[in-house]
Structure 1
Amino acid sequence: MNNHFISYSRRNKAFAEKLVAAFKAHDRDVWIDWEDIPLTADWLEEIHRGIESADDFIFIITPDSISSEVCTQELAHALAHNKRLVPLLYQEVQNYNEIHKSLSSHNWIMFNKEDEFEQSFTRLLQALDTDLEYTRSHTQLLQRTLEWEKRTRNASLLLRGQDLTEYERWLGTSANRVPHVTPLQTEYIFASRRRASRFQRILVGTLLVGFIASLLLTVVAIDSRNQAQSARDFSQTQAAIATIAQGEAEVSKDLAEARAADVHSLLLADNAQQQAAANPELAIVLALEANSVAVPPAQSQLALAEIAYEPGIKRVFPGFEGAVNGIAFSPDRAWALAGCADGSVSIWELTNGTQLFYTNDLSLPVRSVAISPNGRMIAAGYIDGSITVWQTSDYSIIQQLGGIRTQAGHTGSIQALAFTPDNQHLISGSSDNQVIQWELIRGDIVRRFNGHADDVTTLAVSPDNTLLYTGGGAEDRRIIVWDLATGRPVRQFVRHGKALLSMALSQNGQLGVSSSEEGDLIVWRTADGSVVDPLGDTFGDYKITAPITSVSFTPDSLFVVSVSRDGKLFVWDVQQDAGVTVLNSGT
């Protein structure tokens, strides 16, 4: 199986060769037409096989490739099989309307500067390694599905046993993940489940007939004089079995369809119960999805009742002497980081409430906190513009960045912090209207992002580590998108009438959500800032009167979780533009 398929124009072969060489230097397998097509092979068929066997479809964007008929055919085949698209911009295109919309909707990785090839290639590898196991499962299932379809849906090629169970679970977690599941893949899994269920019914029926036959033979052995009567009993029993079989045949189709829906629902409910302790927000979402079928199984309804409608307060963490201005959760959801107006920074173990770390060395109010994606570093930003970074292995300080007294860094309080996905840099936003990118090994300032006319109140880094999104205060209100590699603004837009308070990006990088002092919540496309859902300031019959101070997407990007200043937590359905449930902290 090939890891990556590269689509390119022959006029850009030199760059394609350089890209292939870089992949090979990193022990990555690539499919490209000058290496992988035998001389006697059907050319287009081999191209299609290469696309189907690859985890990713890399498209090199140039004026030549977007006008190439071959590249267009390759892209169409990749889209038909829901391959994950990874567009690389190598040469600028004069008319961007000529670029296929499937490529325009993705974040491009810039390769248009030759002297920055290594940095761009590093970003490419990071993007390709995102959700790698899910993507490989998609590729493996696609190949089995296409083989099943090619061989006229031969039942011997259907999934069974542990394979079937694992792919059903994979399907249950696939909502809104990229690459998307194809209709044929879903049909293949459901056909496999129907066959497995039918086999179980046949097995049970066979055992039943065997039991009856054994019982009749015993009767004959005990009293041979009743042989004639036994024969009549046997005939009646067989007739009853035939009647039952006929009835089963009449309803088997409906049962199979209902069974497929039930399996999907029960898998989601099971996942919800497994996530209930460590990730209750995700558990709520999974339980709701499990109950979206026409007739939810009793177990799914029970899971929803236990998780969504009786959440309760699981644990109270005491000891804060001021407002908690920042909270972050570790990647494994095992512990939480809190920063307080009393100057304290603390870490709490979520399962039993044990305090793992506490410090108040600076005695300055903490305004923002962050945890690195690998969980090995934490950071706190203070009112004087300083930032402290600790390593979580022993909670020792590894960097102290900036501060008014050092005449370096920010000259205002820290309002927002975020680590980059590669764990190499820290981004800070401040009331001095600036954003700074810090290199964490030496503590150097990599660059400053100047463009806001008021406080920088919130920020987020794209999952592929190429773009930075920053939000402004009341006198600005803009969301500015920056190229992290150059520090130049890419685009900007205004979606709120008051100061932004919080912003988050979906895991696939395609959607953003932001909130403001108005109490509103808006979901927008990262590609151009266009509005997907203005979720507004109402939640069913409930009027949201307090500003929403924190927002985040669930891992599947289907729901948004928000927290308002009055202590209420809301779960929003992005697709339905509606509230799902509301939890009250009682404060």
Structure 2
Amino acid sequence: MADVFISYSRKDKAFVRALYAHLITLDREVWVDWQDIAPASEWKLEIKRGIELANKFIFVISSDSAQSEHCLYELECAIAHHKQIIPLVCRDLVEEVLPAELAQYQWISFCSDDDFGTALQKLIEVIDSDLEHSRIHARLKFRAEEWERSDRQSDFLLRGTELTEAQQWLIAGASKSPKPLALQQDFIAASQDWQHQEATRWKELYEIAERERKRAEVAEVDALNLSSQALFTANEQIRGLVTAIKAGKNLKRAEPPIEMQRRTIATLRQIVYEIRNVNSLQGHRSGVRSVHFSPDGQLLLSGGSDGSVWLWSRNGRALRSFNGHDDLIRCVRFSPDGQFLATASSDRTAKLWRVNGEWLHTLAGHKAGVTSVSFSPSGHVVATGSIDGTLKLWTLDGELVQTLTGHSRGINSVEFSPNGQFFASGSGDFTTKIWGVDGQEQRTLVGHEGWVDSVSFSPDGQLLATASGDRTVKLWSVDGQELKTLSGHRSDVTGVRFSPDGLRLATASSDATVKLWNLDGQELHTFVGHNDWVRGLSFSPDGLLLASASSDRNIHLWSLHRTGLQTLFGHSDWVGNVCFSPDGQCLATGSSDCTVKIWNLQGQVLETFKGHQNWISSIRFSPDGQLIASASGDHTIRLWTRDGRRLRTFSGHRRWVNCLSFSPNGQQIVSCSGDGTIKRWDLEGQVLQTYADHQDQVYSVAFSPDGQQIVSSARDGSVRIWNLDGQVAQVFPTLDATVMSVCFSPDGQRIAMGGGDGSVKLMGTDGQALQNFLGHKATVRCVCFSPSGNMLASSSVDRTIKLWSLDGRELQTLTGHTDWVNNVCFSPDGQSIASSSRDRTVILRKLDLNLLSLNLDQLLTLGCNWVRDYLHTNPYVEESDRLLCEGIAD
């Protein structure tokens, strides 16, 4: 964020250049447009953003600027954004042409008869007066407007120390300029209310848990279960696991009901399966801006806004901190041999150190803050980039070798290629440049619509990734060809790094998330746990860990070994149905966007089938995998070849078709409809039988494994088994809620039902009730058996998938979707599970079948092995918790 924005007439350019140079020398960040006027829409957008992000607004008054359409537009923007206006006079003018908006302000005169140094000193005093107030005003205005644009969602409110600082600013700023805006006051008040409500809610939960704990050990286990789930859901992953371990240990001492035992084990199993946060490193007194693993992966280096540099062991223990800079640290790096460190700072210097913290050299010469530093692969050359728009190359002795210019704005990132023949720089001028080590500019990469914050070469040096304020990451070949754009973050992408194997990318964003991608642009995983901007990223050399540094003062270590979850993006509306091909090599999905898509297991779309005129409600592969049938809200069924060729359309239902199923021999299809009927068809589209005993919409239908019977369920809660000739073989007692899904077990002896009351029921085909599975909090949309028949999966409007053993035990709850989970299915080998959702995505995940069979002691061992480093090294762990895992074998 700049200290000032300068508005001026192009005829006063010489004066502005001189003024700019003095301000930069005095370490003030300045936003000024040196370029010729771009197309109106682009120029206005850029100017508006520059003004919005600047703390104060300088208007250089002259007869030309006073009549300039562009200058007056900039003045209007500054007033609209409540910026403090600082008028400067650089030459005489006719007062009658002065804009009325400037009349109320006292000018600072830089006319030829005035003393420039005196005027400059007065300007600096005005700029610095209440500068912190102006900075906070600008930041809170930006956050408040973001909150307003989000329809005032609580996710965008202030929390913790941010809220405390904002409250103090509001009280102190009542008599200052610019005055707090009504929106800012509403924003802070809403944040206070929300925090109070949250504090009240958590206090009530805690008090309830305490009362229950005092009443009995059994109740304590239950309360810990609730707390661990709440913490984990709130992305406090490690604390959630610690609490789940406490519940498990207390369970061993108590004698709770069998249902509570199952619930405790299921919660611990879920967290052990889903946890990704390995440790949280805390020590910096303010935001952490950069982090870097040592070449051997045993050390971690971090630099923060508090001006300190910290060295950590891989297990999270703080080894030492050292200081030497006079301002915030923007970048830290290990040398290739791990013996030296480089740090870059806003104090306009970079420094070289030994790994023991001994200072060696200061690299001084930049005229503004140094934003980035990089060692060449040989370790003999150091490159630095600065807000002053220049790159500098240095020897390890601190001698300046060369200064490179070419960017029109500040440089945010610099990195050498793995072979040391090139290095890249990303700039606020929206471009990335590739330079030879001789200092010659090789090429300029143009394509981003915002500043380039971070650059990263792939390990083989053939690709370059760039992260931008336009919320995207771009992949380029080193010859400058744009290959791919990665989109998914909700705000500026502040960092990007290749994994050591070069197969994945990690990105950091001001939306407080870290994302993992493959090189095809598919988002593999989102790491959520920070509560402020994530600015720094570093992979461990073995590729098992990813470190992220954030303005929330935390460094999180994430496990990459257990990201067996893949999200498939491609549909533009609800994904209602998903199924595996019989060979398990691909997936088919049907969506409300009226398309069917075929995907490989790497998340790539192989085919898209178009033709239906309404939503796709059901989709199935034929048993031999050569045909695909789709049912739709357009009242039809379509039969396709696997490569997307439409064979024929089945017409006969009078309302939407809700579900379909192939017979085991693949020669027939059965379908059900909102018209209350079930139809059995041959593959030529001829109706073989119509079943019309249901009195309401029929939601689900399926063949028995031997193909001799059909099971169906309806909105009125009725479930029936039919013989192929249309005779009802079994009528189940009508349930109290709609039955959305029904299916046979692989052995054909049982029926699973999922209903609108959130329950899953297991029935014998003779009508006998076998089990009632309770755990979902909303309608169950789909139920299915595993191929072996020893497990059930259910998906729900409550956004979860649950895995059950047939004796009624909840084995695991799978999360990840952000809206209803419409459908779930097992892969043919039972090793994976796919789910489709109203959030427009499909999630494909590997199942840890060994984990599902572990007992409580084994789960406690896994959990304790995960949190041992955190318990031993984190300074904020309660002392009573440090011994939590004592006596549990590692």
TM-score bracket for the superposition, by shorter chain length: 0.3 to 0.5
- Which TM-score applies when normalising by structure 1? 0.43
Larger Rg: 2
**Larger % of strand: which?**
2
- Which TM-score applies when normalising by structure 2? 0.29
